[in-house]
Every structure is written in C-alpha cells, then in structure tokens.
Amino acid sequence: MNARRSTTLFVLGASSGLPLFLTSKTLQAWMTNAGTDIRSIGLFSLASLPYSLKFLWAPLLDRYRLPFGGRRRGWILASQILLALAVAAMACTDPRTALAPLAAAAVLVAFLSATQDIAFEAWRVDVLPPESRGSGASIAVLGYRAALLLTGAGALVWSQRIGWRTTYLLLALLQVLLGVATLLAPEPEGTARAPSSLRDAVVQPFAAFVRSRGFGAAAIALGFVATFKWGVYLVSSASTPFLLAQGYSNAEVGTVLGGAGLVATLAGTAAGGFAMTRLSVRAALWAFGGLQGICGLLFWALALQGRNPSLMAAAVVSENFFVGMGSAALVAWMLGECDPRFSATQFALLSSLMAFSRDVLTAPWGWLSKALGWPGFFLVSLAACLPGLLLLALAGGRRPDSATSGG
C-alpha cells in the first residue's frame, strides 16, 4: 500500500473517530463539571442512537451522489463540513441553561458522524483490494483510536486550561482541517454501478447479502458480527464501576483508562495490522478472538485478589490492547463481505450490529454483576466470548459470482 493511501486512511479514520466522545464521554464530563443533574446526563446517552440506526439511511448514500467529490468522497466532505458546524453549535450552548439546544446539537453531531462513517466505510470497501484490507483496516482503526485519545483525555486536559467552549471550537476547526484528506483521497478505480432506483438501493443490498450466501449462512454471518466482541464489550462496560468499587481513586482509574488504556488500544491496533500482513483475516480472527478472553481472566483474578495496582494496570492494558487487535481483524473481515454495488448499506448494516453488541447486548451487565458478584460476572464475560468463535467456525463468505456484477 502506498504512502498516500495509508496517510489518507489514517486521517479519515481520525475524522471518523473525532465526533464520538464529543457526544458521549467528553460531553458527560462537561455536563458533570457544569453541575447538570445525573438523570439528565444519563438521558444524553440516547444521543448516540444514530450509530446503531445508520443502516436506515445508508441506501441514500448508495443511490445518490453529490455534485462534487465523487460517489463516496462527496458525502464524506459534506459530512465533515456540517459536522464542524454542528460541533461549533454545541460549543455555543451552556449545559446549565440550554439543555434542549445542547441535546439537539448532540443528536445532529451523532447523525452526521454516522453519515460520515457510512461514506468512509463504503470508500474503504471500494478503494482497498483484497490483499490490502487487513493492513488498511488497521491503519484506519489506528487513526480512529488516536482521535479518541485526543477528544477524550486531551479534551479533559484542555478544558481545565481554556474552558469547554474553546475546546469544542478547536475540535470543530480540526474537523474542517481533516477534510483536506478527503480532497486528496484517491478515487476508487472501476467502482461498481450505483443502484438505478431508491427501491433497488433499499431492497437489493439486503437481498444480495442473503442471495450470495444463502439464508442460513447470512444469519450466521450477522450473528458472528454481533457476538464476536460481546465478551470484551461486557468487560469494557463494567471496568470503570468495578475499579471504583475496588477502592481505586478517580485519578488512578482515569490515568490508567484514559492514558495507558487508550495507548494500549493504539498499540494493539498497530500490532493487529502487522500480524495481518502475515496471517489471513480468518486466521487473525481466530487468534485475536481467543486472546480477547485474556482480559476477562485478568479482571476475574483482580476481583478475587482485591486491590492490586499492578494487576489492575495489566488488566486494563490487556483489555484495550486486545480490543484494538480484534477490531482491526473484524473490520477487515467486514470489508471483504460487502458487495461494491451496495458497500455503503451493507457495511452500515454490519457496523450497526457492532454498535448493537456494544450498546444493547451489554446492557444487563449491572444486573449480572449484582446477582453473581464480580468474580462470577467476569466468568460470564469469558463465556460470552464463545458464541462469536463458534459462529466464526460456521461462517462462510460471499460467493465470488456476486462480487461486482452490474445490476
């Protein structure tokens, strides 16, 4: 893969990741500093719902192209410009006096961010040849995770020095600057013809997904995406409350989770990309899927042992390291499963299932931890790694005859 394409993947990956925390963790910190009621902060988690529903409007991006930038890059650029304006609108609100406008701006940011994801993911499907999907996915995830480090730990530090409003305005400006990569991005070669009607754009992606595999294999593929990271998502969802319950201070947890944890994710993503230059995507899924269980084992040991800063750091670092590796391999697999005619819609469907696993399948973690205790809960998280591996053993792939035929 040449340097231009690698740089573009990294920067567009960062552009994709930049808005995520601005409507979730970072926004929660801003609202907490402003003294917002905890019930209102909890309701703001609904602002992220567009990420789980983006497959609903993805057909529009497959069917229609904007009058600039090409079939995919036009939508990416438009999303980036509108995102910058929406983030700036968030900066101009006050959580103490204008919750409704802040909520509206946050939902708009999430919607535009999900739209950017649809177009970027489709561009990756179109531009990356099969032999480059593993390394390409890793580079994009690396950029994505770097943006999370910037808008998470970085934004928290800046807010203490320059205030939340200025922090959000600077990040809005950065979103515009990242759009330069879209202007310089290569146009996919030999892109398949777009659907001829909106009905085809809505119906054909799902019909083609099932037809190219058969109903049973399609259901297995969807189930695999939804469950592959279920176990590690359970651990991630519960890690902060668990560590606080173990007696660690906010500063200790924040330093490890926000610093070493995110750095470990970047390292894991880079390691995953390097490994996939020597492994097939399927072999990488087996290797990384098995390694994900290590973090559950370390948290289980920590729950049995009690306060142990060294073991705590090892558990958090391993969790984030293997999350990065697993994400790189899963995204590479998903890229290979998409038909270029409907890449926006099909990848949006698959990535929506990832969000479903992260946001919905993990929802009972509080009830489970209370009913089973922390050691029992982390054993359940280990068991939750098994369905994804079982479905990986059963999952086939898209038949070659459906790859790029007209339609």
Q: State the pLDDT at residue 293.
A: 81
Instruction: Determine the length of the chain.
Output: 407
State which of 14-28, 140-154, 330-344 shows the largest mean pLDDT.
Answer: 14-28
Q: State the pLDDT at residue 135.
A: 79
Percentage, residues of the chain above pLDDT 90: 31
Q: State the pLDDT at residue 16.
A: 95
What is the average pLDDT score of the chain? 84
DSSP structure class, residue 44: G
- The domain locations on the chain are 1-187, 195-402
- pTM metric for this prediction: 0.72
How many Cβ atoms are within 10 Å of 30's Cβ, its own excluded? 23
Q: State the pLDDT at residue 71.
A: 81
State the amino acid at position 11 in one-letter form. Answer: V
Q: Which tokens sit at 184?
A: 């310089």
Residue 265: pLDDT above 80?
no
Backbone φ, ψ for residue 151 (5° rounding): -85, -10
Q: What distance in Å separates the CA atoms of residue 296 and residue 381, rounded to the nearest whole number?
A: 6
Q: State the pLDDT at residue 292.
A: 82
pLDDT tens for 307-326 read: 888 898 888 888 878 877 88
Q: State the pLDDT at residue 404.
A: 36
Question: Do residues 76 and 69 make contact, with C-beta atoms less than 8 angstroms apart?
Answer: yes
Residue 406: pLDDT above 80?
no
* Helical axes 281-305 vs 230-245, angle rounded to 10°: 20
Q: State the pLDDT at residue 402.
A: 40
Residue 264: pLDDT above 50?
yes
Report residue 251's pLDDT band, with 50, 70 and 90 as the boundaries.
Answer: low
Q: What distance in Å separates the CA atoms of residue 191 and residue 177, rounded to the nearest whole number?
A: 27
Q: State the pLDDT at residue 189.
A: 66
Q: What distance in Å separates the CA atoms of residue 124 and residue 121, rounded to the nearest whole number?
A: 5
Q: State the pLDDT at residue 133.
A: 76
Q: State the pLDDT at residue 14.
A: 95
Residue 206: pLDDT above 60?
yes
Q: What distance in Å separates the CA atoms of residue 239 and residue 257, rounded to the nearest whole number?
A: 9
The domain 195-402 is placed in CATH, from the list 3.50.40.10, 1.10.10.10, 1.20.1250.20, 1.10.150.20, at 1.20.1250.20
Average pLDDT on 273-289 reads: 85
DSSP structure class, residue 188: P
Report residue 254's pLDDT band, with 50, 70 and 90 as the boundaries.
Answer: low
Which residues have C-beta within 8 Å of that of residue 403, sequence separation ≥ 6?
339, 340
Following DSSP, what letter does each residue of 250-281 receive, concatenated?
HHHHHHIIIIIIHHHHHHHHHHHHHHHTTS-H
Q: What distance in Å separates the CA atoms of residue 69 and residue 217, rounded to the nearest whole number?
A: 36
Architecture of domain 1-187: Up-down Bundle (1.20)
